[in-house]
C-alpha cells in the first residue's frame, strides 16, 4: 500500500466542555517513538467519549486541537522509531491512549502497546466496535467451564462481550436486559437464561436458576445498587468483577457469602503508564479477540452506523451509548485502502 500523509487532517475536536465537538482541520499528530500513525477507517462510540465531551476530567485543551475517540480500526501509514511489532500497511485495531488526542480523526497516533492486528475476517467497522467493550470485559473475566456466570445488562456495549467470553469459556450464562431489543439480542446469542431486570427481582431469579448462587458475575452497570445486587447472587467461592469503582457495601455482601468482589478499570490502564503489566495484557486481549472473531466465536453487535460528518451531533445525542443493545459504529474513510 502506498499512502501519502497529508500535513493536516479533519478531526472532531473539543471546543467547549459541554458543547458538541467541532469538525476542524488540525495538524497530523506527532508520532512518538512507541506510536504508529493510523489512517482510521472506522471508529466506535463509548460512554467515556461523551464524558470527556461534557466533564473533561483529564483537562484536555478546549482550543480546538484535541480530538476525542478511543476505539478504532485502520491502516498503519507510519511507525515510530521504537516500534517493532507493526509495519506500514498493517491493518490494526485497538484503543487510543485516553490522555492523548483520539480516533475521531482521519489520521491519529496510536500507542502501539494498545493495539493489535485486526481480525482478518472482520471489516474495519466490525473490528472498530470490539476494542474498549471487549477489553473492559476481558480484564475482569474469570468464568469457568460448567459453572454459572451472571452478566447483568448483558446486551450493553461492554457486557455483550462478557456474555460471549463466558460462553467461550464453557460457562452456563444468565443475563438480564431492560428492553425488547436487549432481551432479543441475548436470546439470539443462546444465553441459557434471560430475564428482564425491570420486571423480576434479579437476586431471587439468579439464585433460583443457578440452584443457590453463581460462581462468577461480571457487572458493568456502574451503580452501587447493581453491585450490591450482583454480590448477593454469588455462591460460596464465587467472584464478582465490577467495572469501575467498587464500594464497601458490595464487598461486604460478597464476603458474607464466602465470595470475593474486586474491580477493574480499563480507562485507567489505558492512560496511566504506571499500569505496565495491565497494558501488556490489553494488547494480548486484542490479539485473542481477533483470533476468536476469525474463528466465529465472538462478534460485536453494531446497532447503528453513522458517518464521519455526523460524529459531533450523534455523540452528543446518544451520549456514546447504543439506542438498542451493542454499539454505535462510525465510518471514517469509506473506501477500501
Contact set with ligand NAP (CB under 6 A)? 46-48, 132, 136, 152-153, 155-159, 176-179, 182, 197, 220-222, 226, 243-244, 265-267, 321-322
DSSP class per residue in 195-257: EETTTS-HHHHHHHHHTS-EEEEEE-S--HHHHHHHHHTEEEEEEEEEES---HHHHHHHHHT
Kind of pairing between the strands at 172-177 and 115-117 = unpaired
Q: How far is the CB of 330 from ligand NAP (least distance, A)?
A: 15
Q: How far is the CB of 217 from ligand NAP (least distance, A)?
A: 11
- The phi and psi torsions of 71 (rounded to 5 degrees) equal -75, 145
**310 versus 321: smaller Cβ distance to ligand NAP:** 321
Q: How far apart are CA 172 and CA 192, in angstroms?
A: 6
Task: Choose among 59, 98, 60: nearest CA to 265.
Answer: 98
**190 versus 336: smaller Cβ distance to ligand NAP:** 190
**304 versus 321: smaller Cβ distance to ligand NAP:** 321
Q: How far is the CB of 130 from ligand NAP (least distance, A)?
A: 12
Q: How far is the CB of 73 from ligand NAP (least distance, A)?
A: 17
CA 123 to mean position of chain CA atoms: 17
Q: Are 192 and 150 in contact (CB under 8 A)?
A: no
**69 versus 153: smaller Cβ distance to ligand NAP:** 153
Task: Choose among 269, 18, 237: nearest CA to 136.
Answer: 269
**DSSP character at residue 105:** B
Q: How far is the CB of 83 from ligand NAP (least distance, A)?
A: 25
**28 versus 302: smaller Cβ distance to ligand NAP:** 302
Q: How far is the CB of 76 from ligand NAP (least distance, A)?
A: 25
**172 versus 301: smaller Cβ distance to ligand NAP:** 301
**29 versus 320: smaller Cβ distance to ligand NAP:** 320
CA quadruple 184, 221, 231, 202: dihedral positive or negative?
A: negative
Beta bridge partners of 322: none
Task: Choose among 71, 48, 193: nearest CA to 127.
Answer: 71
Helix (H, G, I), strand (E, B) or coil at 286: helix
**67 versus 186: smaller Cβ distance to ligand NAP:** 186
Q: How far is the CB of 9 from ligand NAP (least distance, A)?
A: 26
Q: How far is the CB of 17 from ligand NAP (least distance, A)?
A: 17
Q: How far is the CB of 282 from ligand NAP (least distance, A)?
A: 11
CA diameter of the chain: 62
CA quadruple 264, 143, 294, 299: dihedral positive or negative?
A: negative
Q: Residue 294 belongs to what H/E stretch?
A: helix 276-294
- The phi and psi torsions of 207 (rounded to 5 degrees) equal -65, -40
**85 versus 184: smaller Cβ distance to ligand NAP:** 184
Amino acid at each position: 500500500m502506498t499512502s501519502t500523509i497529508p500535513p493536516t487532517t479533519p478531526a472532531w475536536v473539543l471546543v467547549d466542555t459541554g458543547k458538541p465537538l467541532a469538525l476542524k482541520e488540525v495538524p497530523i499528530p506527532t508520532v512518538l517513538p512507541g506510536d504508529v500513525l493510523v489512517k482510521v477507517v472506522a471508529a466506535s462510540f463509548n460512554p467515556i467519549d461523551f464524558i470527556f465531551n461534557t466533564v473533561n476530567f483529564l483537562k484536555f485543551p478546549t482550543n480546538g486541537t484535541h480530538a476525542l475517540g478511543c476505539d478504532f480500526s485502520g491502516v498503519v501509514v507510519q511507525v515510530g522509531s521504537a516500534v517493532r511489532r507493526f509495519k506500514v500497511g498493517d491493518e490494526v485495531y485497538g484503543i487510543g491512549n485516553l490522555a492523548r488526542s483520539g480516533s475521531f480523526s482521519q489520521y491519529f497516533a496510536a500507542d502501539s502497546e494498545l493495539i493489535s492486528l485486526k481480525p482478518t475476517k472482520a471489516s474495519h467497522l466490525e473490528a472498530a466496535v470490539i476494542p474498549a467493550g471487549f477489553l473492559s470485559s476481558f480484564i475482569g473475566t474469570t468464568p469457568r467451564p460448567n459453572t454459572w456466570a451472571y452478566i447483568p445488562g448483558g446486551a450493553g456495549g461492554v457486557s455483550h462481550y462478557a456474555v460471549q467470553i463466558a460462553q467461550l469459556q464453557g460457562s452456563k450464562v444468565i443475563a438480564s436486559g431492560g428492553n425488547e431489543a436487549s432481551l432479543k439480542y441475548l436470546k439470539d446469542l443462546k444465553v441459557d437464561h434471560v430475564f428482564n431486570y425491570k420486571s423480576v427481582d434479579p437476586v431471587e431469579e439468579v439464585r433460583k436458576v443457578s440452584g443457590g448462587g453463581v460462581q462468577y458475575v461480571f457487572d458493568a452497570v456502574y451503580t452501587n445498587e447493581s453491585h450490591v445486587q450482583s454480590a448477593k447472587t454469588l455462591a460460596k467461592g464465587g467472584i464478582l468483577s465490577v467495572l469501575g469503582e467498587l464500594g464497601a457495601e458490595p464487598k461486604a455482601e460478597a464476603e458474607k457469602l464466602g465470595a470475593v468482589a474486586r474491580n477493574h478499570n480499563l480507562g485507567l490502564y489505558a492512560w496511566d503508564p504506571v499500569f505496565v503489566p495491565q497494558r501488556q495484557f490489553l494488547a494480548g486481549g486484542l490479539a485473542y479477540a481477533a483470533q476468536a472473531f476469525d474463528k466465529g466465536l465472538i462478534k460485536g453487535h453494531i446497532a447503528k452506523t453513522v458517518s464521519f460528518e455526523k460524529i459531533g451531533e450523534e455523540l452528543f445525542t446518544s451520549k456514546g451509548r447504543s439506542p438498542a443493545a451493542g454499539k454505535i459504529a462510525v465510518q471514517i474513510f469509506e473506501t477500501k485502502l
